[in-house]
């Protein structure tokens, strides 16, 4: 095979849409611009959100109030059933959970252990938060629920 033998893959090349080339071309008369009006004129472009002089939606809706969403604590959830993966007496913390792939993603709040499923092993759980059901299951088997040491500023 030589350089002059190279061709694009079938279906990779399309014929350019040729506007204004007569009615039988399929793109004649209005050339895909619809009927008359501002958008049919040459050089026409309207800014994003322009509604033809009508008060735009973004300016019609109220903009007062406060949302706590940007300050909310977001945890990565880990169910207690997935902690059965570890051996008896293990100390399970965020680093270990991330290494095993049980806790993925970025979260400023850390890990929260939830009570879904059934725990069968005694272990020490180190997480930023525990649901009441998870804490109950871990402590019922003689395990311990610990909060991580606060990070030095």
* CA pair distance 152, 129, nearest whole angstrom: 19
Looking at residue 153, its pLDDT comes to 63
* CA pair distance 34, 62, nearest whole angstrom: 34
Q: Which structural domain range is residue 92 located in?
A: 75-146
Full-model pTM: 0.57
Per the structure, the count of domains in the chain is 1
Task: Express each pLDDT in 74-101 by its tens digit.
Answer: 999 999 999 999 999 999 999 999 999 9
Task: Express each pLDDT in 29-76 by its tens digit.
Answer: 999 999 998 889 998 888 999 998 999 999 999 988 888 888 889 999
* Domain assignment of residue 109, yes or no: yes
Contact of 84 with 122, CB cutoff 8 Å: no
CATH of the domain at 86: 3.100.10.10
pLDDT of 1 higher than 90: no
């Amino acid at each position: 095979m030589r350089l002059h033998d190279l061709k694009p893959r079938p279906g990779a090349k399309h014929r350019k849409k040729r506007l204004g080339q007569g009615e039988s071309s399929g793109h004649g008369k209005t050339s895909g611009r619809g009927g008359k009006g501002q958008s049919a004129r040459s050089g026409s472009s309207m800014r994003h959100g322009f509604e033809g002089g009508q008060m735009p939606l973004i300016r019609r809706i109220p903009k007062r109030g406060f949302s706590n969403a940007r300050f909310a604590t977001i945890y990565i959830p880990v169910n207690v059933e997935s902690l059965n993966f570890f051996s008896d007496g293990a100390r399970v913390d965020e680093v270990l959970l991330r290494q095993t792939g049980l806790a993925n993603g970025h979260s400023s709040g850390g890990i929260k252990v939830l009570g879904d499923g059934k725990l069968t092993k005694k272990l020490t759980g180190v997480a930023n938060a525990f649901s009441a059901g998870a804490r109950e299951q871990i402590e019922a088997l003689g395990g311990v629920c610990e909060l991580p040491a606060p990070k030095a500023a």
